[in-house]
Amino acid sequence: MRFLALLFLGCSFALSTHAATPPNVVFIMADDLGYSDLGCYGGEIATPNLDGLAKEGLRFTQFYNTARCWPSRSALMSGFYAQQIHRDALPELGGGGQGVRQKWARLLPDFLKPAGYRSYHSGKWHIDGPVLAGGFDRSLDMKNQGNFFTSAGNSIDDVPVKVPADEKGYYATIATADHAIECLQDHAKNHSGKPFFHYIAFIAPHFPLHALPEDIAKYRDKYLAGWEAMREARYARQKEMGLTNTELSKLEEKVGPPYDFPEAIEKLGPGEVNRPLPWASLTDEQRRFQATKMAIHAAMVDRMDQEIGRVLAQLKSMDAYENTLICFASDNGASAEIMVRNGGHDPKAEPGSAATYLCLGPGFSSACNTPHRRHKTWVHEGGISTPFIVHWPAGISAKGELRHTPAHVIDFVPTVLDLAKIEKPKAWEGEAIPEAPGKSLVPAFIKDETITRDSLWWLHEGNRAIRIGDWKLVAAKDDAWSLYDLKTDRAEQHDLAKKMPDKVEELAAAWQEKTGAFTMLARQTQADQPVSKAKGKAQGKGKGKGKKKD
């Protein structure tokens, strides 16, 4: 009885704290980070700052994104599935990265502003429209995603930057943190009486694999044992941490990048490998090339964590750390893509430098997504699973605990509004706002309980899935449905579709019902979508496969 009483008091304390003082909110998003890349999720990369947040906060084991950059960001900031707001394709309507949200599809800052919040954005945007029009007060929009060593193409407060004659020392990850810190310093000086929301969206570790030489040096020879050894080591640590109870997925040697760019393979040279083949079967040149790419990826994650440490130090210096809800996630799983864009690739240049254009590829992407299957763009668990860290000393009494409830980026908006005691409006400028699908995660902040919902739904480039309870129905584009029991098989190794056709039919009908409802909603404003000059039709109906910027 004494234990139950103490538990009740602890829960009441957490609830009363957030009710009395609405928190500041910081959401940190990585780009193309694998589920197991952080130390606190089983990785060997040095991430002490994020590990520290996890140790003093919560780690969610079943948190999801949308499998791709722009849909995840739109869902995160709006609380709607991207297809509901024209930000990803639907079978009958098309759509995608060029789609424009309905007027009622507001972003989180618009709901926070009436409660006195100021909102800041630092880093990648990739949501439709100018940043400040989304309700933010200040922004660094890193539109340049092809070179980490120049600010060319970026905007500050939606105004293009003037590129200095000498940008020696510029690195995008550092610049993102610099801007975030400057915004926080200004807030402390001029707006200290107001709460703030800060969306910090690092481009790292998205391709091209660009990193500082001193960071690469820390990992140069670390991955020469290969992707199988890396997967096994990470998996063992995950099991020890209690992060997973599934078996380790098998490498799919016939599954390569989602888009085929044979000319890129030729440019990258004989060290490139576009399949997760057995490490022992590779040549010495291939093993060194692949291990070097993974070393650069690790260096990018390492540097991101270092810069996050600087942001945390700023929060502490302005006495805001205790009452700031800090969340961290990735927009999709690690990427199997291999391509050469922007300034091209100089094979003679130092790997990781501005003259190179390298991508992680399917071998080490599989390892980064341990223990799950597949990669970014697929809606198998490897494409949609992300680490999710939540830290809020003033509001969450639990420390170092795991949360097993399935959750999704659509849950962020309702969670913040719940904590800030803000009632979301039913309409915007006379237009009704439809009911959003996300759920507040506040109950899971208090204890490890499952958030009740009817389903979680996915669709991207023909890859589709639905999760109801522990049952997941999933299919790659043009493939038949597969059925998995995620309670024991998040590795998606044991297809139960043939054994349980009734369950397949039930989940398929639920997926189609959701898809139909989203289509009906989007169809209402389909005529307002921009017209592609190249195609003379609503933007996004053409596939343009492999050409999207993400």
324 in Cβ contact with 392 (< 8 Å): yes
Q: What is the mean pLDDT of residues 25-40?
A: 98
- Give the whole-angstrom CA distance, residue 327 versus residue 445: 12
User: How many structural domains compose the chain?
Assistant: 1
Using alpha carbons, list the distances in angstroms from residue 445 to 23, 242, 244, 398, 549. 14, 18, 20, 8, 35
* Averaged pLDDT score across all residues of the chain: 93
Q: How confident is the model at residue 8 (pLDDT cuts 50, 70, 90)?
A: very low
- Give the whole-angstrom CA distance, residue 131 versus residue 106: 12
Residue 395 lies in a domain: yes
pLDDT tens column, 281-293: 999 999 999 999 9
Question: Which residues have CB under 8 Å from 165's CB, separation 6+?
Answer: none
What is the DSSP annotation of 269-338?
A: -TT--SS---GGGS-HHHHHHHHHHHHHHHHHHHHHHHHHHHHHHHHHHTT-STTEEEEEEESS------
337 in Cβ contact with 359 (< 8 Å): yes
Catalytic residue among 86, 126, 297, 375: 126
Provide the residue range defining the domain that includes 322.
19-453
What is the DSSP annotation of 514-530?
A: HHHHHHHHHHTTGGGSP
Residue 523 lies in a domain: no
pLDDT tens column, 465-505: 999 999 999 999 999 999 999 999 999 999 999 999 999 99
Q: Mapping DSSP to helix (H, G, I), strand (E, B) and coil, where does residue 107 land?
A: coil
pLDDT of residue 549: 54
- Give the whole-angstrom CA distance, residue 109 versus residue 413: 10
pLDDT tens column, 343-373: 799 999 999 999 999 999 999 999 999 999 9
pTM (2 d.p.): 0.94
Q: How confident is the model at residue 429 (pLDDT cuts 50, 70, 90)?
A: very high
Q: Mapping DSSP to helix (H, G, I), strand (E, B) and coil, where does residue 466 land?
A: strand
Q: Look at 46 and 549; give whichever has higher pLDDT.
A: 46
- Give the whole-angstrom CA distance, residue 494 versus residue 485: 8
493 in Cβ contact with 371 (< 8 Å): no
- Give the whole-angstrom CA distance, residue 105 versus residue 215: 41
Catalytic residue among 69, 183, 327, 359: 69
What is the CA angle 549-61-252, rounded to 5? 60
Q: How confident is the model at residue 342 (pLDDT cuts 50, 70, 90)?
A: confident
pLDDT of residue 20: 60
Q: How confident is the model at residue 133 (pLDDT cuts 50, 70, 90)?
A: very high
pLDDT tens column, 264-321: 999 999 999 999 999 999 999 999 999 999 999 999 999 999 999 999 999 999 999 9
Amino acid at 234: R
Tell me whether residue 126 is one of the annotated catalytic residues.
yes
Ranges 106-120, 157-171, 357-371: which has the least confidence: 157-171
- Give the whole-angstrom CA distance, residue 236 versus residue 91: 40
pLDDT at residue 150 is higher than 60: yes
pLDDT of residue 11: 47
- Give the whole-angstrom CA distance, residue 442 versus residue 444: 5
What is the spatial order of strands in the sheet that 471-475 belongs to?
456-460, 463-468, 471-475, 482-485
Residue 140 lies in a domain: yes
Question: Which residues have CB under 8 Å from 314's CB, separation 6+?
Answer: 180, 181, 184, 185
Residue 500 lies in a domain: no
Q: How confident is the model at residue 145 (pLDDT cuts 50, 70, 90)?
A: confident
Using alpha carbons, list the distances in angstroms from residue 234 to 16, 44, 116, 237, 243. 39, 7, 44, 5, 11
What is the DSSP annotation of 185-234?
A: HHHHHH-TTS-EEEEEE--TTSSS----HHHHHTTTTTTTT-HHHHHHHH
Is the preceding omega at residue 437 within 30 degrees of 0, hence cis? no
Cβ of 118: how many Cβ atoms within 10 Å?
Answer: 21
Q: Looking at residue 350, which CATH number applies to its domain?
A: 3.40.720.10
pLDDT of residue 92: 86
pLDDT of residue 74: 98
Residue 379 lies in a domain: yes
Ranges 14-28, 124-138, 411-425, 508-522: which has the least confidence: 14-28
Q: What is the mean pLDDT of residues 89-116?
A: 93
